[in-house]
Structure 1
Amino acid sequence: MNRWLPILLSLAGALLLWAAWPTSPLTLLIFIAFIPLLRLTDLVPHRGKYFGCIFLTLFLWNVATTWWVGNTTVPLSGVAANLINTLLMSIPLLGYHRTRARVGQTAGYFALIVYWLTFEYIHLNWEFSWPWLSLGNAFAMHPSWIQWYEYTGVSGGTLWILLCNILIYHTWLQRKRYTVPLGTFLWKTGWQPAAAIVIPFLLSSLVQYTFKAPEGPAARVVIVQPNIDPYDKFAEENEQLQLDKLLALSAQKTDNTTTYIIWPETALFTHGVWEHKLSYESGTEQIRQFLRRYPQATLVSGATTLKRYDVMDEAPKMARSTEDGTLRYDAFNSAIQLDTSYAVQIYHKSRLVPGVEIIPYVRYLSFMKQLALDLGGITGGYGLTPGVELLENNRTHIKVLPAICYESVYGEFVAENVRRGANLLFVLTNDGWWGNTEGHRQHAQYARLRAIETRRWVARSANTGISCIIDPLGRVQQPLPYWKEGVIVGNVTPADTFTFYVRFGDLISKAAVVFCIIMILYSFYLKFRFSAPNS
């Protein structure tokens, strides 16, 4: 049994982490899901064997939870993504194993929290970014548990999970070591993990009870879910048919009270349109003619746009070139805002999907540019030149952040744009690439976290689902299921107040980074101090 125990613990850890993840109803298992990993650290002193055990746990968790990443025309992409993410996740646990052996159990627990939070923060902010499995995302289906995310963001949930796992495991160890009556044990020690779990629930109830909804005139939104197969939509002959469908669906619900019509990611100009000509494109004029029937309405839509650089020296290093080399340009995954005027606002997506929309750090390794995955439409990677920060409606004084797909997973990014003045959040996405898997369901749930962190209404338009409206408490309204054509109409109220998280950002993660740096420097100090020859 002792021989097989590490393997059994590895399997148990993977099973618990998978079972606790959205959209499973077994979320509470997350409070014990790390215990097998903590036990492995105590039982397996050999670093190589320990790495093998945690790698097995983390790899199985990644595969079971995000296997759908490979459910595309390039299945190998999913294998590569899961392997790379597993290796990166192993780093904080290896650091914990080393620190635990050197400084003892209590300091080791503190190190685990610091290392894991630091890992998640780095993984959120570099170009290999994949924050899908940040631990705090586990509570996305239960907004009533985490109303205090308006103070901490997702990192507060990560801290809660790690602390509860550590306290439960430590309490179990104490019970094994000291044979005292159960009542005495619970009175002296057992209350600690119970308090760690219960207190945040109570705080969440208090925050929700005292929450005041945004006041003022509401904006009426029409959200379109056209349900167009993403693998067919980029065929050139389908572009006009898709525009006609979007306009026809919009006409079903649009009236003179409509403030915004919202279309999903890459709904327009799938093969790209030059930004300097956008206002005069035939498709743009067709939309403008439609909007003249509803002069109070503004359209926000995903689009593929192209920006030319007339001065070669102004072009970014990784800009594209025409075949004859006479023109430099960039392609962008964009959101555009149109009304009855000839003014067009263009927002460029800035949080790009590694391997599909961007090859990480390709500016230093330009030969890797050809590795960008081809899932249809514009390939070779998107540009990162900024467009407008927010889409502004001067008539209604509304400023919209049109978070495009992957951007809605980034809490601090969304908070930063709310700090700049965004009073409504729109999510434009096309999740159909991965089929009817957990991918689109998890993505929709994560948008609820952005609503809580910023206390903004969210209107979500997804090409194949799930489209919905989310209120500032994270509650979903009128969800349109996957692979169903439809239109949603609802009211959303712009807000101008800032939460603590919006004002100050992710303080928990930044504090963890500082502690991590101090601990690393101190370990180097000790190493050199005790290895230096005696004078």
Structure 2
Amino acid sequence: MANRSFNRWLPWLLGLASGLLLWAAWPSSPLTLLIFLAFIPLLHLTTLVQHRGTYFGCVYLAMVIWNVGTTWWVGNTTVPMSGVAANVINALIMTVPWVGFKNIRKRFGTTMSYLALIVYWLTFEYIHLNWEFSWPWLTVGNIFAMHPGWIQWYEYTGTSGGTLWVLIVNITIYTCWQKRRQYSLPVATFLWKEGWKPAAAFIIPFILSIITGVSYWTHKPFKGGPRPLSVVVVQPNIDPYDKFADGAESQQLEKFMRLTRQMADSNTAYIVWPETALFPRGAWEHELNEQPAVQAVRNMLKQYPNAKLITGATTLKRYENKDEAPYSSRPMDGGMYFDAFNTGLQIDTSNLIQIYHKSKLVPGVELIPYSRYLKFLDNFALDMGGITGSYGRSPGVAVLENNTQHIKAFPTICYESIYGEFVAEHVRLGASLLFIITNDGWWGNTEGHRQHLQYARLRAIETRRWIARSANTGISCFITPAGDLELPQPYWQEAVIKANVTPDPTFTFYVRNGDLISKGALIFCILLLIYSLVLRFTNRKAYVERT
């Protein structure tokens, strides 16, 4: 009786175990190695459970625990239900590859199903990066962000290489365990014949990382290349829920300039302020040069003639009529339309202001997915930046040009820094330095801002670029091309830091070619789905002919 009761609850215990392992392994937990065991309970669940409803329920339980355990903080806003919806819906989407894995296992057998699981999961992650419901926070390859020494080969594969590594190790450990249960061989013989497979899958990437890291530093041209530039990063520690209040803008600007003067000097090439540092309530782009804040910044920059300010801002763009207005625009008096943008600006002592518009927008906060088809949905956007409704996505400049230093830089804004291929595209356009300007205080002192910091280290490795990161409430820092943190500042503390960073004009394999692993998986996924449909149709036709 007890055994029957245990067997009834075993599938649910497996789902629970997988969810807990995934949560326990995720940054900023030190238990990263648990990820190499985290999917094994779900693999055994697929073998054990035949009932579709039970299988789906157990997998969904694992995904919910994983989502809630690692990203519960997305609900730590003025609208807590937004976080509940995000975790519940994202967990549901994450079950799709596992349901596909189960179906392939029934029809094509064990070996083919493992290949299908890898293909389906990589395809899911790639789609989740590129559609408007995008939420790639739990991309499996992000798991190694705290350990850049393990993944120096990300300069070839990006995070999809880490996802592939995790899946292969979990599958090889599970298949090895299954064979051990089936065959009663001496331990030494079994390890010789089967145990080496998971060991090799686990160890080889560590060796490749060492080789890649040594190769990078050995072949890097230290002489004759671009000279280091002095960069000042400001962390003002302004409460994000207060910064958009009426009348607060001038006091905040004074604080930015005061902190800047503590570190800036005649050698400073860049000064970096965080997301929405200027014009929190919005400023018209065609009037930026007349803005008092811009004039005050220029007066400050006269003391540092070589410096350019990279700063976040909220800007507005006007369209004369509906025909020239994009779908994200909203009406205003006089038959005109306008767009609001989360913007990165480059300001110097000249009259030229370079404007970059954030294009990877946070679903539900800055973007209502596919609202161009259902316009009324814009009313449901959360007000997290003084602007309700979706932000605009009309492109500004792709990179910020510094003609004085003959370099280009990319001002990655907040959420954009978790998109590896997106950042690589802008490096390919010439960006030899990366800046991240962000406002990580919306969710309080939770894992949110710590995870966001760690993910930035992956962008440094993939592109081999220095990163200067300015966060409104922390954690501001510099990140080396090897993914190491320098001068990280505590959360919720006012700070200003300075370091020399070296622009790099060379391209990594990942920058040149993009995410080849995910694109290959997508092709295989399409072929596999076509083959399954053809086989189902031909089998049904043969059955009809026989009857």
Scaled by the length of structure 2, what TM-score is found?
0.97
Partner residue, 1:188: 193
Deviations 1:278-319 (A, max 9, x none): 012111000000000110111000000001112431111231
Matched residue of 2:373: which SS?
Answer: coil
Whether 2:500 is the aligned partner of 1:491: answer: yes
CA contact 2:328–2:390 (8 Å) conserved in 1? no
Structure 2 CA distance for aligned equivalents of residues 305 and 219 of structure 1: 29
CA contact 2:231–2:268 (8 Å) conserved in 1? yes
- Cα deviation for residue 4 of structure 1 reads 1.2
Matched residue of 1:3: which SS?
Answer: helix
Structure 1 CA distance for aligned equivalents of residues 203 and 237 of structure 2: 42
Structure 2 CA distance for aligned equivalents of residues 295 and 280 of structure 1: 21
CA contact 2:328–2:391 (8 Å) conserved in 1? no
Whether 2:425 is the aligned partner of 1:420: answer: no
Partner residue, 1:383: 392
Alignment equivalent of 1:241, drawn from 234, 251, 257: 251
- Cα deviation for residue 376 of structure 1 reads 4.1
Question: Where in structure 2 are the equivalents of 1:345-494 lying within 5 Å?
Answer: 345-494=354-503
Partner residue, 2:3: none
Alignment equivalent of 2:241, drawn from 231, 234, 251: 231
The residue type equivalent to 1:208 in the other structure is G
Structure 2 CA distance for aligned equivalents of residues 249 and 211 of structure 1: 36
CA contact 2:356–2:397 (8 Å) conserved in 1? yes
The residue type equivalent to 2:545 in the other structure is N
CA contact 2:340–2:387 (8 Å) conserved in 1? yes
Structure 2 CA distance for aligned equivalents of residues 221 and 275 of structure 1: 26
CA contact 2:381–2:388 (8 Å) conserved in 1? yes
Partner residue, 1:341: 350
Matched residue of 2:133: which SS?
Answer: coil
- Cα deviation for residue 325 of structure 1 reads 5.0
Structure 2 CA distance for aligned equivalents of residues 409 and 397 of structure 1: 27
Question: Where in structure 2 are the equivalents of 1:125-274 lying within 5 Å?
Answer: 125-212=130-217, 213=220, 215-274=225-284
- Cα deviation for residue 326 of structure 1 reads 2.2
Structure 2 CA distance for aligned equivalents of residues 465 and 149 of structure 1: 26
Partner residue, 1:301: 311
Partner residue, 1:329: 338
Matched residue of 1:431: which SS?
Answer: coil
Structure 2 CA distance for aligned equivalents of residues 106 and 385 of structure 1: 46
- Cα deviation for residue 374 of structure 1 reads 1.6
Deviations 1:257-287 (A, max 9, x none): 1000000000000010000000121110000
Deviations 1:36-71 (A, max 9, x none): 110110111111110000000100110000000000
Partner residue, 2:545: 534
Structure 1 CA distance for aligned equivalents of residues 328 and 23 of structure 2: 39
Question: Where in structure 2 are the equivalents of 1:62-101 lying within 5 Å?
Answer: 62-101=67-106
Matched residue of 2:247: which SS?
Answer: helix
The residue type equivalent to 1:228 in the other structure is I
Alignment equivalent of 2:59, drawn from 33, 54, 64: 54
Structure 2 CA distance for aligned equivalents of residues 456 and 60 of structure 1: 35
Alignment equivalent of 1:45, drawn from 47, 50, 64: 50
Structure 1 CA distance for aligned equivalents of residues 330 and 233 of structure 2: 34
Q: Which moved more, 1:334-343 or 1:525-534?
A: 525-534
Matched residue of 1:72: which SS?
Answer: coil
Structure 2 CA distance for aligned equivalents of residues 429 and 91 of structure 1: 32
Q: Which moved more, 1:206-215 or 1:373-382?
A: 206-215
Structure 1 CA distance for aligned equivalents of residues 375 and 66 of structure 2: 33
Structure 2 CA distance for aligned equivalents of residues 325 and 445 of structure 1: 47
Structure 1 CA distance for aligned equivalents of residues 391 and 144 of structure 2: 32
Deviations 1:220-258 (A, max 9, x none): 100000000000000021000000000000000000010
* Structure 2 segments unaligned to the other structure (5+ residues): 1-5
Matched residue of 2:442: which SS?
Answer: helix
Partner residue, 2:28: 23
Whether 2:525 is the aligned partner of 1:516: answer: yes
CA contact 2:355–2:396 (8 Å) conserved in 1? yes
* Structure 1 segments unaligned to the other structure (5+ residues): none
- Cα deviation for residue 375 of structure 1 reads 2.4
Structure 1 CA distance for aligned equivalents of residues 407 and 437 of structure 2: 17
Structure 2 CA distance for aligned equivalents of residues 53 and 327 of structure 1: 53
The residue type equivalent to 1:505 in the other structure is G
Matched residue of 2:415: which SS?
Answer: helix
Structure 2 CA distance for aligned equivalents of residues 156 and 526 of structure 1: 31
Q: Which moved more, 1:213-222 or 1:42-51?
A: 213-222
The residue type equivalent to 2:303 in the other structure is R
The residue type equivalent to 1:418 in the other structure is V
Structure 1 CA distance for aligned equivalents of residues 522 and 51 of structure 2: 27
CA contact 2:460–2:482 (8 Å) conserved in 1? yes
Structure 1 CA distance for aligned equivalents of residues 69 and 328 of structure 2: 36
How many residues of Structure 1 are paired with residues of Structure 2 in the alignment?
534
CA contact 2:320–2:335 (8 Å) conserved in 1? no
CA contact 2:328–2:393 (8 Å) conserved in 1? no
Deviations 1:360-397 (A, max 9, x none): 00001112111101224112110000001111100101
- Cα deviation for residue 210 of structure 1 reads 1.3
- Cα deviation for residue 527 of structure 1 reads 0.8
Structure 2 CA distance for aligned equivalents of residues 429 and 194 of structure 1: 40
Matched residue of 2:207: which SS?
Answer: helix
Matched residue of 1:40: which SS?
Answer: helix
Structure 2 CA distance for aligned equivalents of residues 18 and 93 of structure 1: 18
- Cα deviation for residue 460 of structure 1 reads 0.2
CA contact 2:457–2:484 (8 Å) conserved in 1? yes
Matched residue of 1:534: which SS?
Answer: helix
Whether 2:286 is the aligned partner of 1:280: answer: no
Matched residue of 1:67: which SS?
Answer: helix
Structure 1 CA distance for aligned equivalents of residues 137 and 21 of structure 2: 17
- Cα deviation for residue 219 of structure 1 reads 1.0
CA contact 2:327–2:372 (8 Å) conserved in 1? yes
The residue type equivalent to 1:307 in the other structure is K
- Cα deviation for residue 83 of structure 1 reads 0.8
